[in-house]
Structure 1
């Protein structure tokens, strides 16, 4: 009988302790997929399975995924699952997956046949927001996501969960140099549009859309840095209702803005 102290369950320990998980996952090169759909999407995307932790009621529905894993499948009761992870796992199934080497920005942007519409995230630190933006990108046709060095990890459990596995479908890379990051985009032929709440900026639906366009989205609190705003080819905004300021609304949250902007980004494709 497996109990919470079993060393084979170490990959799943304290899933809500962000700092501990970041250290553990980086050290062991793993991430955790939660729920049947997300696990299946991770497997379909080619990520190797280290192990699976699940309650008995999920064994039958995941039988094809579990086949061949042998003693890497750990079936426990709800109490043990909660004691190991630190919270009630309502979806009842977790998989520890091997990370793959992340491609460089140049490799993701690629040649002339590479992506035409990309989303660039500067210093978004909320894992849920990063996952939600990946889902927007996948749903609305953005072909890649580029992260600044300080962005949250798309493969952190909450990012993966909120994205519903979209982080496995949209190619992404992390910049190694924030200061010169936009120069790399320009060198790959991208026109950069900096999304800002400033209503004096060009409305997004009037922005110049070239063959290759990168949409820049800033952090949850301060938005884009002054450097990236200054360096971008054009600042753009989502026009707000004339009543918005009267109601005390001067901007949209970053996920809502990303969804609208990704839809607008497809203009001209």
Structure 2
């Protein structure tokens, strides 16, 4: 059970993990910071509690902390309880969700390990937008993708906005970083995967023709605007497109990803 600790002083050092979250130079989840994982709101905090990320503490208004009583029953960490005004002054903005939790990072998963236990994977290149990244993880969770491989130019999936937009699913969908890009796509091929690059090119196979529900498959997605690099497409086994109505040349990457993930499921 969590230990309830009342906090009424904005400068209380015990809540420093939650301080100044609106300031890029102070954020504990930012590159160069302490590498902490921050969850916002009851639903996302519950998913953090059920994840492999070691929780350090909770911070919120009493009503939200009490809503988490069952989920925190086995947890031996402090839960700092305060009012909405003090919380807003500590955090740096008013938080409608009323509760935060902070955790350390889980051990890094190696690409070979993730590939070896998977049949359906997503590979990302250049996904720098945290909201798109979070939405892709949420879609991957919803459509039973086994994991995500991060190639060149991708943002940190554990950035606070990505965690929030993913509704906490980034905390349960395993991911790994590919060190050599796009050369490490060979790891997939060596493990029997077909790598399908999603692109709007007219000469690409249609999604229906690609039969992405057959055998181990990894779908390769690129950034908004530029899309996949020529090098990434060349390193894939096939190029795949989503047929679209005349006058529409592309979709948001998270939307395109969801369509491809559904095609992978075969349902």
Q: Which residue of 2 aligns with 1:250?
A: 249
| Bigger helix fraction | 1
Is the aligned partner of 1:151 residue 2:154?
A: yes
Decide which of 124, 135, 140 is 2:127's aligned counterpart. Answer: 124
Q: Which residue of 2 aligns with 1:78?
A: 84
Distance 1:65 1:236 in 2: 43
Give the SS at the match of 1:63: coil
Report the alpha carbon displacement of residue 46 of structure 1 after superposing the two structures with TM: 3.3
Distance 2:25 2:129 in 1: 13
Decide which of 210, 221, 227 is 2:231's aligned counterpart. Answer: 227
Distance 2:195 2:76 in 1: 49
Give the SS at the match of 2:67: coil
Q: 1:127 to 1:233 in 2, by over 3 A?
A: same
Give the SS at the match of 1:32: strand
Q: 1:22 to 1:69 in 2, by over 3 A?
A: closer
Report the alpha carbon displacement of residue 63 of structure 1 after superposing the two structures with TM: 2.4
Distance 1:32 1:102 in 2: 17
RMSD (Å) for aligned C-alpha atoms: 2.2
Is the aligned partner of 1:193 residue 2:199?
A: no
Which ranges of structure 1 fall in alignment gaps of 5 or more residues? none
Q: 1:178 to 1:16 in 2, by over 3 A?
A: farther
Report the alpha carbon displacement of residue 199 of structure 1 after superposing the two structures with TM: 3.0
Is the aligned partner of 1:4 residue 2:10?
A: yes
**Equivalenced residues, count:** 260
Which ranges of structure 2 fall in alignment gaps of 5 or more residues? 1-6
Q: Check whether the contact 1:192–1:233 (CA below 8 A) recurs between aligned residues.
A: yes
- State which drifts further: 165-174 or 211-220: 165-174
Q: TM (normalized to structure 2)? A: 0.89
Deviations for 1:6-64, whole angstroms, at most 9, x for unmatched residues? 22222112323446436657643421111111111111123222111101222321223
Q: Which residue of 2 aligns with 1:134?
A: 137
Is the aligned partner of 1:203 residue 2:206?
A: yes
